[in-house]
Amino acid sequence: MSIDQNKFWKEINEKQLSPENIEANFENFKSSSINHKLALFNPEVNGVRYLKTVNFLLASTLSSAEIRLLGNTKNRDLGNPLCIQYKGMSACLDYLQAAKEVDFIQREITLENSSIIEIGAGYGRTCHTLLSNFDIEQYCIIDLPNALQLSRRYLSEVLGAPSFKKITFISVAEFDASKLGTFDLAINIDSFAEMDKEVVHEYLAFIDKHCTAFYAKNPVGKYYDQSLDGHSQGNEVIELALKQGVLTDILDIDNQSEVNEASKKFLLAYKPSAHWTVKADSWAVPFSYIWQSLFAKENGA
């Protein structure tokens, strides 16, 4: 029997692997349509495939403690996330990260009977995970009004009534440090870098006075790499994003040593005051440029 190319490969050979195409693109062939037929899925049109791959990879790294945190957090699929099934468990990137974030925190401080304040909670995945796993005394969310409307609705549907009752939703316009009392833990995930510098300083001053521990998970700096998203949101949004927050150095986020170096500035920028120490810090997987730290106020400060 003689073996010939089938119709599928005939087309690839005639188009992507044609001698003319190879000649014209050899210098960059590994990032071109040639290699997208040989070894690499075209990243420009395979976002969901790569996201699900990240989900699989992260799910495969979960510790038994992280699996427990995830398993105890029911109704995670409300809102139709992009998930995978791993060892009988549904897993999306939001909650895979939540399990890792909460595990990082629980290794450093006691969460049972604690009072928590979260600044910028999005739809509430962190609150959902914490209230599903610990007997939290009270959970306060500070956010913009429309985000609060979403988190209020989401959390009322995913949590049971006794847990939901522990949450107070406070709009930024109502934020009044003097009326808020004290908290064992403040949380800020993926949002200080998008706020005005003065606002971040105001929140840090609040945390300094009213909280005893602070978990921060945010970018270590800014980046300007059009190859990542084609700058699809437009130049105006990019220019705005580059100015927000307290860490505005532009770095190469594909370079681990640059990120590690920038993490030193992260720790200085998010330490609420000289009376706080870093209990733990690390790269926060999976995004290369995101760092996490648990700061603790020194006794008596």
Ligand X SMILES: C[S@@+](CC[C@H](N)C(=O)[O-])C[C@H]1O[C@@H](n2cnc3c(N)ncnc32)[C@H](O)[C@@H]1O
Binding site for ligand X (CB under 6 A): 119-122, 125, 142-144, 147, 172, 189-191, 194-195, 199
Instruction: Please say which residue, 141 or 213, places its beta carbon nearer to ligand X.
Output: 141
3-state SS, residue 165: coil
For residue 11, the tally of other CB atoms under 10 A from its CB is 13
Residue 96: CB minimum distance to ligand X, A: 12
Instruction: Please say which residue, 111 or 193, places its beta carbon nearer to ligand X.
Output: 193
Residue 10: CB minimum distance to ligand X, A: 47
Instruction: Please say which residue, 121 or 296, places its beta carbon nearer to ligand X.
Output: 121
Q: How do strand 138-143 and strand 167-171 relate by DSSP bridges? A: parallel
Residue 153: CB minimum distance to ligand X, A: 14
Start-end of H helices in the chain? 7-14, 19-25, 47-60, 64-72, 93-106, 125-133, 145-158, 161-164, 197-210, 226-229, 235-243, 256-270
Residue 253: CB minimum distance to ligand X, A: 17
Cβ within 8 Å of residue 237, ≥6 positions away: none
Q: Which residue has the tokens 């300083």?
A: 201
Instruction: Please say which residue, 147 or 251, places its beta carbon nearer to ligand X.
Output: 147
Residue 147: CB minimum distance to ligand X, A: 4
For residue 212, the tally of other CB atoms under 10 A from its CB is 20
Across-strand partners of 51? Answer: none
CA distance 261 to 259: 5
Instruction: Please say which residue, 202 or 261, places its beta carbon nearer to ligand X.
Output: 202
Residue 141: CB minimum distance to ligand X, A: 9
- Compute CA 153 distance to the chain's CA centroid, rounded to the nearest angstrom: 21
Residue 129: CB minimum distance to ligand X, A: 11
CA distance 161 to 27: 61
Instruction: Please say which residue, 17 or 51, places its beta carbon nearer to ligand X.
Output: 51
3-state SS, residue 278: strand
Instruction: Please say which residue, 199 or 280, places its beta carbon nearer to ligand X.
Output: 199
CA distance 83 to 66: 17
Q: Are 296 and 216 spatial neighbours (Cβ–Cβ below 8 Å)?
A: no
